[in-house]
Amino acid sequence: MWHYITVFVDRFSLLLAYLAGASILCIALMQLLEIMLRNVFNISLPFVWEYASYLHMGAVFLAAGYTLRVGGHIRVTLLQKIHPRAFECMATTVALCISAFLSVALVKFAYNYGLSGRTSGTVNDVPLVYPAAFVAFGALMLTLQLFLRLVASIIGQPVELTDSTINATQ
């Protein structure tokens, strides 16, 4: 059961990380198109800079869970050698509490945007609930990965994906 849960969450996190990577590539392509149209045809695409910001914000949070799973987030590990397992449990518990607080704050933030129908107020008038929802969802995935990491460290399972397990996930 544990195996199926982690495999499912890992695959979903990987999918979100690909989505984040594709979003960044999409920013580059959108901006290239904008530069070309602006300099050659004197046409500007007013949505590019605004959508680029939302795509970046979304990418940061959507990839957060996978980044944690592959050890991509940085931390201070000076005390790790004293008792690795206790260190892992303590670090993950602290991080889980903070991440849960952040997730709740971002979900409420997106919900309020949805409730008020607030838009960006630019020429594009983007309803802010959409980008805010992606950001909140990414934060929730990070919290879920932290929770699974805590369980894994308590039951003595590997907490991060190795090269071989990353390939298997892909």
Partner 1 sequence: MPIPIITTILLVFSLLASGAWVALSLMGVGISSLSLFRSIPVDKILAQTTWNGLASPELVALPLFILMAELLMRSRFIDGLFSALEPWVRKLPGGLMHINILGCTFFALISGSSAATTSAVGKITVKELEQRGYDRSMAMGSLAGAGTLGFLIPPSIIMIIYGVLSQTSVLKLFAAGLIPGILLALLLMSYIAVHAMIKQRKQSDKLDQQETKATTSVSIWYERFSQLPALIPFFVLMGVLLTSLYGGFASPSEAASIGVGVTLIIMAIERSLTWSGLKAACIGTAKTASMLGLIIAAAAFLSTAMGFLGLPQAISSAVNALDLSPMQLIALLVVSYIILGCFLEGMSLIVMTLPIVLPIIISAGYDKIWFGVFLIIVVEMAQISPPVGMNLYVIQGLTGESLGKIARSVAPFFVLMVLFVFILAMFPQLATFLPSLM
Which residues would be at the binding site for partner 1 (CB under 8 A)?
17-18, 20-22, 24-25, 27-29, 31-32, 34-35, 39, 49, 52-53, 56-57, 59-64, 66-68, 70, 72-80, 87-88, 90-92, 94-95, 97-99, 101-102, 104-106, 108-109, 132, 135
Token readout for 130 is 């959409």
- DSSP conformation class of 119: B
Would you say 1 or 82 has its CB closer to partner 1? 82
- 23, 66 contact by CB (below 8 A): no
Minimum CB–partner distance for residue 35 and partner 1 (Å): 6
Would you say 6 or 106 has its CB closer to partner 1? 106
The CA distance from 9 to 100, in Å, is: 17
Minimum CB–partner distance for residue 3 and partner 1 (Å): 23
Would you say 2 or 119 has its CB closer to partner 1? 119
Minimum CB–partner distance for residue 1 and partner 1 (Å): 28
Would you say 5 or 21 has its CB closer to partner 1? 21
Would you say 90 or 168 has its CB closer to partner 1? 90
Q: Which residues of 46-59 are buried (b: 16+ CB within 10 A; e: fewer)?
A: eebeebbebbebbb
Minimum CB–partner distance for residue 109 and partner 1 (Å): 4
Residue indicated by tokens 């495999």: 7
Cα–Cα nearest to 147, from 53, 69, 59? 69
Q: Which residues pair with 127 in a beta bridge?
A: 119
Token readout for 100 is 């849960």
The CA distance from 143 to 69, in Å, is: 12
Minimum CB–partner distance for residue 7 and partner 1 (Å): 18
Residue type, 78: L
